[in-house]
Structure 1
Amino acid sequence: MHPNCDEKAINSHIMQKNGILSAISDDQHLWELSIDHFKQEYAGFKRKGINKIYTFTGFCNHHDSIIFSKIETQGKIDFNDYESCLLFALRTAYNEIWLKEVVIKMQECVIKSEVDIDTWMLEETIRQNKLAIIDMEFYTQAMWNDLQNKTESFNFEFRETDYQEICLNSIYTYDTSQEIMDYQMKYKRDMERPSEIFISYFPYTNKSILLMGYHKDDAQKVKGYVNLFFKENLKKLNRRLSSLISFNCETWVCSNNFYKEKLEGLDSEFFKAMQFSAKNGNERKTFNVDFFKDDFKKNFRSFIDKNVG
């Protein structure tokens, strides 16, 4: 995925294996929310080895090593350093592109198989994912330009919170489903470019780090929303993060202890949460769920029963 490289890509970890993922692993394994589109309830938790979990096919071995060395092999990470923050966003962006490419290939294979199925929805999914990849290239081109020319096209904020054994690296679309639909209805075309927010949340040196970034062209639209994550108290922040993780973000992993305490037995509820999110229309809404409270399991089940059934 490096713009000037034709070498074979390796499986790259979204978050560094040594020092972050390994620190929360149990017997070199972690848990992830796994998606299997061939099952009726296509979301469920799965335990995987650390060498295979949280990876994507992105960069060749050479570029993977040299580009990200600043945040992986050069000592303590400086979150006040622009380039370090940018590298977290770059990995997240290319993982998102890779995920969309996988979906496109899967849908194309189903269409080619000539299975008796209405292909319109599959073709629309392919179209939407191809558009999303084009939109994402706006961000990746700006990132490469920043790395090459020492410019700063993004705003980043970071915050330390209580230590939690969970890693999140995701892209969150600021524009809600309802806003995008309203735009399409009003202008009879797709929104030119949704505004994306890059989010990383991970344990580091006995704390957890929340890192968020957005393109400066989108500052007027998204700055106020992003600032909420850094100015509100910890109780409100935990609810915001919990809503994002539970309803809007799929790219995260956690330790065995976190899974046992918070998530074990909630496979069906998380699948229903995805269904709820798809129909919600307002992805910026914060719900009364808190991953980090002892009674999360009970409250999450109650929320799903009440709102989804």
Structure 2
Amino acid sequence: MDKKMKQDLKILQNIFKNARNKKHKCLVCEEKSINSHLLQKNGILNIISSNNHIIQITGNDFFKAEKEGIIGIKSIGINRAMSYPLFCNIHDTNIFAPVETEEYSLNDYTSQLLFSYRSLCAEIRKKMINTDIFERIKNSRQFAVNFELLKLAQSQIEANSMGIQDLNWYKNIMELEINNSYNTTDYIFEKIDYDFIPISASAVYSPINPSEHTLEVLKDSEKILNYIFINLIPQEDKLTLIIGYHKLKTNNWIKEYITSWKGLSDIEFEKKLTDLFATKIETWVISPDYWKELETKNIKAFKDYWNDNANNLRITQSVDFNLFE
């Protein structure tokens, strides 16, 4: 690595660090946000933690990424696991009280909506941070003549900004329902129970179909992309999938994908989870003790696939390994 490249990587690393450490406003009001767990620490994450730690995907720094790839899978303290600066303390407490301070049922529409709302807000925040990162890159004198990087930065700014716009459409409707502004149920959720596996996930996913989502369609601000809301919630004796979509923003692929989670054998479920974690979402965690039991070759296959396809959002992806066997 030459001196210029080392300088570039150092500047990029500082940009990413500063953008991610920046203080943010609550996604509901003007107050400062706190770190919000996507799934609560007590009653969900602590079920699969070991010594107050959990295994989670994290990004490697630029120097480490050159040798080990862009992702690391590391042990992290449960207080920081699956957490993002989303809401101020008041809104984080009040909005989610029905699923944190009271007895709740995963069959209940409001509970399903609240879990999905938090994962939706996390995706908005991630895209806001990404936009900030690439704005900083675009404005950095270090990269003033790096036209390839500047082109990439501009495309990322546009893509993340359009994603935020789409997600805010879903967010506004969810907030109306959470606040009981209208007596409607605009979201359709399925609840499916499986045998217990010590994992957890909370994410949104927009399926991109190469034959349908041309560059022209993706750049059309009038066309709101379809999103699926996915939560895997561990309990003492089972693992529950809550998966859903907005009833006006769906298609045959989404309906068939949700149906494909039903009636699975243990092996089929493991392969389905592998596909989900490798090709569709990144906000998932796993028990450290369970992680140690997984085959080294399967972990390597997962990391290799993820590093090679991190920016591939297409539904045509497929994996030929089972992380959990």
Q: Which amino acid in 2 is paired with 1:214?
A: Y
Within the candidate set 42, 46, 50, 1:26 is matched to 50
Equivalent-residue separation in structure 2 for 1:23 and 1:190 (angstroms): 42
Aligned residue pairs total: 290
Asked if the contact 1:160/1:207 (under 8 Å) is kept, the reply is yes
Unaligned runs of 5+ in 2: 1-24
Equivalent-residue separation in structure 1 for 2:197 and 2:137 (angstroms): 40
- 2:38 corresponds to 1:14: yes
- Residue 261 of structure 1 corresponds to 293
Q: Write the deviation string for residues 173-228 of structure 1: whole angstroms up to 9, x where unpaired.
A: 1233x2355x3358985781221100111211310011101000034432232112
Within the candidate set 245, 270, 273, 1:241 is matched to 273
Within the candidate set 172, 175, 181, 2:205 is matched to 172
Within the candidate set 201, 205, 212, 2:236 is matched to 205
- Residue 195 of structure 1 corresponds to 226
SS of residue in 2 equivalent to 1:289: coil
SS of residue in 2 equivalent to 1:217: coil
Within the candidate set 158, 163, 168, 1:132 is matched to 163
Q: 1:208 to 1:225 in 2, by over 3 A?
A: same
Q: 1:4 to 1:265 in 2, by over 3 A?
A: same
Equivalent-residue separation in structure 2 for 1:122 and 1:146 (angstroms): 36
Give 1:105 deviation, angstroms.
1.5
Asked if the contact 1:159/1:210 (under 8 Å) is kept, the reply is yes
Q: 1:281 to 1:57 in 2, by over 3 A?
A: closer
Give 1:69 deviation, angstroms.
1.3
Give 1:277 deviation, angstroms.
3.3
Asked if the contact 1:33/1:46 (under 8 Å) is kept, the reply is yes
SS of residue in 2 equivalent to 1:259: helix
Identical-pair percentage: 28
- Residue 298 of structure 1 corresponds to none
Q: Write the deviation string for residues 145-168 of structure 1: whole angstroms up to 9, x where unpaired.
A: 111224211000011101111111
Q: Write the deviation string for residues 203-256 of structure 1: whole angstroms up to 9, x where unpaired.
A: 113100111010000344322321121244444333222101122211111111
- Residue 141 of structure 1 corresponds to 172
Unaligned runs of 5+ in 1: 294-309
Q: Write the deviation string for residues 22-58 of structure 1: whole angstroms up to 9, x where unpaired.
A: 1211111111111236233111112111111210001
1:1-309 to 2 correspondences below 5 Å: 5-36=29-60, 38=62, 39-40=65-66, 41-75=69-103, 77-116=104-143, 117-118=146-147, 119-148=150-179, 149=181, 150-176=183-209, 178-179=210-211, 181=213, 183-184=214-215, 189=220, 192-221=223-252, 222-262=254-294, 269-277=301-309, 282-283=314-315, 285-293=317-325
Equivalent-residue separation in structure 1 for 2:42 and 2:197 (angstroms): 17
SS of residue in 2 equivalent to 1:260: helix
Q: Which amino acid in 2 is paired with 1:86?
A: L
**TM-score normalised by structure 2 residue count:** 0.81
Equivalent-residue separation in structure 2 for 1:258 and 1:142 (angstroms): 38
Equivalent-residue separation in structure 1 for 2:33 and 2:161 (angstroms): 21
Q: 1:58 to 1:266 in 2, by over 3 A?
A: same
The CA RMSD measured in Å over matched residues stands at 2.6
Q: 1:230 to 1:284 in 2, by over 3 A?
A: farther
SS of residue in 2 equivalent to 1:218: coil
Equivalent-residue separation in structure 2 for 1:263 and 1:15 (angstroms): 27
Q: Which amino acid in 2 is paired with 1:95?
A: A
- Residue 307 of structure 1 corresponds to none
Q: 1:168 to 1:179 in 2, by over 3 A?
A: farther
SS of residue in 1 equivalent to 2:55: strand
Q: 1:26 to 1:70 in 2, by over 3 A?
A: same
Equivalent-residue separation in structure 2 for 1:229 and 1:241 (angstroms): 10
Asked if the contact 1:171/1:199 (under 8 Å) is kept, the reply is yes
Equivalent-residue separation in structure 2 for 1:211 and 1:44 (angstroms): 27
Asked if the contact 1:44/1:270 (under 8 Å) is kept, the reply is no
